[in-house]
Structure 1
């Protein structure tokens, strides 16, 4: 089980993690929470209908990681638009879509990252042997979402745009300053892949 998720009876998944691995994942999840930002302030209306219609930002974020986590919804699949009018229509459609969806998306990503931190904090005391993390089906889905977001964030910092570029990361020399980030990116990808396997029917 060490290093990868396995299916457990009754649904869900389990993985053995050592103390360093737990610390790395927890630290990355906390950094992700800081990047995404806080949820609704205390004292604000808890009216679900009001929250449903609350408007979010209409402009894309400037940080490249947040751009990757919250991309524009509309864009030409075959490259940039042909005319200024098409570009303006895409920008307008993306802004409108973002205004009504980004708050919800941020909330979901925040909930996933919080679930990761809480499940790691709930582990039994960790010794040299490490600990076994056991997740129910819903926790597994939250972990999958958080692992995906963490890989997107690290990939943005590494300027990885597709899997071919990700393959090039394997060939980086140990002296490259990006190597620790690359190792985390590849390791999280392995965790993500094995977790997906536990959720498949």
Structure 2
């Protein structure tokens, strides 16, 4: 996979994706949407339910979701009995912020899916204007964080990912993880040129 972002001037960027790259990126974003889940009121998006909805007060049990929606005040797994006040503050913060954060992450992923859908199932050039670059960066970051958690990647391990044998069952996910990192980096460079 070689498609990387290039500057299109004025804080915008463009990327040429072949059919396989577009398909993989779209599939990953759809899986991200499934992981994040529907908003308040379900898939119908009942505006009244969303208006009165409060978020959860506990961190998600899924490690990938916990990475996407971390506690505001420390790691609950490291908290001791004396940290009850910190846990309560984290729960209160989560209660009032997580739904908005989830909505933003859903919107970022949908933005990318729609851009890829505009290619009509084929490869092609996707143009990202200056206002959409933040959504792309957010969506790519969320994918990379999620894959990193699923692969149990640490800073020490990252160099070893390049040396995985082809027989390693993690290889396809590692390739996607590394590609997403290259996409992020190239997009950042493109919009700052």
Give me the TM-score of the superposition, normalised by structure 2.
Answer: 0.89
What is aligned with 1:101? Answer: 97
Verify: 1:138 aligned to 2:131, yes or no: yes
What is aligned with 2:178? Answer: 186
Structure 2: how far apart are the matches of 1:181 and 1:4?
A: 18
- Residue 169 (structure 1) aligned to one of 146, 161, 168: 161
Where does the alignment leave 5 or more consecutive residues of structure 2 unmatched?
none
What is aligned with 1:30? Answer: 30
What is aligned with 1:198? Answer: 190
Verify: 1:6 aligned to 2:3, yes or no: no
Residues 71 and 90 of structure 2 are in contact (CA less than 8 Å); yes or no, is this contact kept in structure 1?
Answer: yes
Instruction: Tell me the alpha carbon deviations over residues 45-101 of structure 1, each in whole angstroms, 9 at most, x when there is no partner.
Output: 359xx73x742000011111101111111117xx945x521x212211111111111
Superposed displacement of residue 124, structure 1: 5.5
What is aligned with 1:45? Answer: 47
CA-atom RMSD in angstroms: 2.1
What is aligned with 1:154? Answer: 147
Superposed displacement of residue 179, structure 1: 0.5
Superposed displacement of residue 44, structure 1: 2.8
Residues 17 and 132 of structure 1 are in contact (CA less than 8 Å); yes or no, is this contact kept in structure 2?
Answer: yes
Residues 59 and 69 of structure 2 are in contact (CA less than 8 Å); yes or no, is this contact kept in structure 1?
Answer: yes
Residues 54 and 100 of structure 1 are in contact (CA less than 8 Å); yes or no, is this contact kept in structure 2?
Answer: no
Where does the alignment leave 5 or more consecutive residues of structure 1 unmatched?
none
Verify: 1:84 aligned to 2:86, yes or no: no
Structure 2 vs 1, CA of residues 46 and 199 (structure 1 numbering), >3 Å: closer, same or farther?
farther
Structure 2: how far apart are the matches of 1:154 and 1:110?
A: 17
Structure 1: how far apart are the matches of 2:103 and 2:81?
A: 34
User: Alignment partner of 2:57: what SS?
Assistant: coil
Report the number of matched residues. Answer: 189
Structure 2: how far apart are the matches of 1:84 and 1:138?
A: 45
Superposed displacement of residue 172, structure 1: 1.4
Structure 2: how far apart are the matches of 1:43 and 1:197?
A: 36
User: Alignment partner of 1:120: what SS?
Assistant: helix
Superposed displacement of residue 165, structure 1: 2.0
Structure 2 vs 1, CA of residues 169 and 122 (structure 1 numbering), >3 Å: closer, same or farther?
same
Structure 1: how far apart are the matches of 2:59 and 2:158?
A: 25
User: Alignment partner of 2:156: what SS?
Assistant: helix
